[in-house]
């Protein structure tokens, strides 16, 4: 069996790449792995939603299951990739190796926390 295209991350980068990939290739197995629940949502909408008092359920657009159907993909949620092994075209989830044909790292980034002083510093979200 053909090893899948593996995408680590189901944020805007991971899901948008998967959608574009499927426009060109409906056959190759596609595996997305995410440390979170895999819901599709728009991060830029977080600030608007926060201001409007919306919760996570109201902001989520599609569940991981719905995304899997839409993308004809397997999506592993609440699963953290712990090691990359490019020499052997594998990634590791704990003790479990997963083969890939191609690998995309769409795992986001950590925001830079600007050092702020003042009595409202802990109310600033990066």
Ligand X SMILES: Cc1cc2nc3c(=O)[nH]c(=O)nc-3n(C[C@H](O)[C@H](O)[C@H](O)COP(=O)(O)OP(=O)(O)OC[C@H]3O[C@@H](n4cnc5c(N)ncnc54)[C@H](O)[C@@H]3O)c2cc1C
d(CA 6, CA 99): 8
Concatenated DSSP letters of 59-105: H--B-HHHHHHHHT-EEE-S----EEEGGGTEEEETTEEEE-SEEEE
Is 106 a residue that touches ligand X (CB under 6 A)?
Answer: yes
Q: Whole-number minimum distance, CB 15 to ligand X, in Å?
A: 8
Is 48 or 72 the residue whose CB approaches ligand X more closely? Answer: 48
Structure tokens at 119: 């009595």
Beta partners for 105? 8
x-marked contacts with ligand X along 75-104 as a string, rule CB under 6 A: -----xx-----------------------
Q: Which stretch binds ligand X (CB under 6 A): 9-17, 20-28, 52-60, 65-73?
A: 9-17
Contact positions vs ligand X (CB under 6 A) = 8-14, 33-36, 43-44, 46-47, 80-81, 106-108
């Amino acid at each position: 069996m053909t090893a899948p295209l593996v995408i680590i991350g189901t944020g805007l980068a991971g899901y948008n790449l998967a959608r574009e990939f499927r426009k060109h290739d409906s056959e190759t197995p596609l595996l997305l792995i995410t440390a979170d629940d895999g819901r599709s949502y728009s991060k830029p909408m977080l600030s608007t939603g926060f201001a409007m008092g919306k919760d996570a359920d109201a902001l989520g657009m599609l569940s991981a299951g719905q995304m899997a159907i839409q993308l004809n993909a397997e999506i592993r949620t609440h699963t953290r990739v712990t090691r990359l092994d490019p020499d052997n075209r594998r990634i590791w989830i704990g003790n479990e190796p997963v083969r890939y044909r191609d690998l995309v790292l769409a795992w986001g980034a950590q925001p830079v926390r600007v050092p702020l002083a003042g009595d409202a510093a802990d109310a600033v979200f990066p």
